[in-house]
Amino acid sequence: MKVVLAYSGGLDTSVIIPWLKENYADCEIIAVCVDLGQVNKSDYSEIERKAKVMGADRIHIMDVQDEFIREYVYPMLKATAVYEDKYLLGTAIARPLIAKKLVDVALAEKADAICHGATGKGNDQIRFELTIKAFAPQIRIIAPWRIWDIQSRDDLMKFLENRGLEVPMKKSQSYSRDENVWHLSHEGLELEDPSAEPNYRHLLQLSVSPEDAPDKPEYVALEFDKGVPVKLNGKSVTPVELVNSLNEIGGRNGVGITDIVENRVVGMKSRGVYETPGGSILYAAHRELEHLCHDRSTIEFKEVVSSKYAQLIYKGEWFTPLREALSAFVDSTQRTVTGEVKLKLYKGNIIPAGSTSPYSLYNEEIAGFTTGELYDHKDAEGFINLTALPLTVRALMEQKRQDIAFPVDIESSENAMRSHGTCVHDHKTCNKGEIGQ
């Protein structure tokens, strides 16, 4: 049996290799490490060594960082896709690409199965397997977390220790982490208690906590062409260079740290801390430019599209007709999203500092306080009257209904007011002896 394994060199996939050997007779394991920025090239030999020590027969290491940003992250950025208003989808957007590369290797190697280390409680199992089924439904999928008796990360460590194999992490740092050029996620340990404040000084790796950021703000300028960032501080950069540079800039200023309790696809809630310093800066800049260049109707409808787009990414539905159709709409909106945005970074905050665009819809003659030829204040009255017409008609109807339901009898009303000591002449409350005086 020939199995292609999604291999990261972390705890889960380190255990999976010997587990496959023990549970599948004559199992040939081809480990595939898809590098999206989580591996330093100098560590490639170490990744290969660890895979072979664990029992892998062969290993493929693929650097796909540029493809990841150009073909996956940038379309997501243009869509302004954010899951549940907080999560910039750093793990979710990576999974379709990883799974597609696994399929490519499996087809080339004529493999019988693809194996992944996603848990039975998580989202990644869905994201991996939907992509696999989209391209190679005939290939068997092995998901050890849905098969074996291992229940925890402690069990994983004991599995390796009992076999004399090296454990790739310390117990005190056994967070479940996922890293790529776009972000770094943290789950597990004390984060499983939503009432606990994260110990950022212990946890963070890309960023400093906002209180530890410099006391002086730092400015960045980003230039976009049709929704795609092309320059940083006036200098042309590749996608990988751009994101790495923004991660450094944003990280040292404590921006892009998100603590979220999110709704997983499988139904449960989970808590995680995400570091996305560069991505947060790009989203903020892109959003500023869109608000400058898009009309109101486009902005309103794109918010609907953005929410759906984020849901599709989160649920692993990247390679679907709907996602492709939404991307076509998004691309049409980006034709005018060209220009420069300046931002001020200060202790975890991203503050707009000015935007320019040849497609700007801001017109100073109309928007300024000085009246110009393009806008007549008197026009507002007719606009308001027409806009309010449904409200006016409804109000008249309600008044008419109240008159019918509560007819006014003036004589009865005056008698009632006298009996309660109320003056009917000047509407002042009087003593009964003073009524009519």
For the purposes of burial, counting CB atoms within 10 Å of the CB of 260, is it exposed (0-12), middle (13-18) or buried (19 or more)?
middle
Query: Does the pLDDT value for residue 165 go beyond 90?
Result: yes
Q: Tell me the two tokens of residue 436.
A: 């009519």
Partnered with residue 29 across adjacent β-strands are 3
- Rounded Cα distance between 318 and 99, Å, is 11
270 given a catalytic annotation:
no
- Rounded Cα distance between 280 and 246, Å, is 9
CB 187 within 8 A of CB 271: yes
DSSP string, 250-290: HHHTT--EEEEEEE-TTS-EEEEEEE-HHHHHHHHHHHHHH
Q: Tell me the two tokens of residue 401.
A: 């209904």
Alpha carbon separation from 361 to 282, 377, 403, 418 (Å, rounded)? 21, 20, 49, 65
CB 139 within 8 A of CB 112: yes
User: In which order are the strands placed within the sheet that holds 339-346?
Assistant: 235-236, 228-232, 218-225, 339-346, 349-356
How confident is the model at residue 428, as a pLDDT?
A: 47
Query: Does the pLDDT value for residue 166 go beyond 60?
Result: yes
- Rounded Cα distance between 384 and 50, Å, is 71
212 given a catalytic annotation:
no
Active-site hit among 35, 95, 177, 178: 95
12 given a catalytic annotation:
yes
Mean pLDDT value across residues 63-90: 98
Q: pTM for the whole thing?
A: 0.88
Least Cα distance to 19 among 104, 101, 116 occurs for: 116
Instruction: Grade residue 433 by pLDDT with cuts at 50, 70 and 90.
Output: very low
**Residue 431 DSSP one-character state:** -
Give the position of tokens 């008698």.
415
**Averaged pLDDT of the chain:** 91
In tens, the pLDDT along 167-207 reads: 987 665 668 889 999 999 999 889 999 999 999 999 999 99
Mean pLDDT value across residues 195-221: 96
Give the position of tokens 């003073």.
434
Give the position of tokens 């960045």.
220
Q: Where are the alpha helices (DSSP H) in 253-388?
A: 277-293, 296-314, 321-333, 364-367, 379-387
CB 344 within 8 A of CB 353: yes
Active-site hit among 8, 14, 35, 124: 124
153 given a catalytic annotation:
no
How confident is the model at residue 370, as a pLDDT?
A: 65
Active-site hit among 70, 174, 176, 245: 176
The angle subtended at Cα 40 by Cα 103 and Cα 198, nearest 5°, is 95
Query: Does the pLDDT value for residue 412 go beyond 70?
Result: no
Percent of the chain at pLDDT above 70? 89
Query: Does the pLDDT value for residue 403 go beyond 50?
Result: yes
In tens, the pLDDT along 320-375 reads: 999 999 999 999 999 999 999 999 999 999 999 999 999 999 987 676 666 667 77
Alpha carbon separation from 206 to 121, 131, 174, 255 (Å, rounded)? 27, 29, 17, 10
Instruction: Grade residue 136 by pLDDT with cuts at 50, 70 and 90.
Output: very high
Residue 214 belongs to what H/E stretch? none
Instruction: Grade residue 41 by pLDDT with cuts at 50, 70 and 90.
Output: confident
Instruction: Grade residue 414 by pLDDT with cuts at 50, 70 and 90.
Output: low
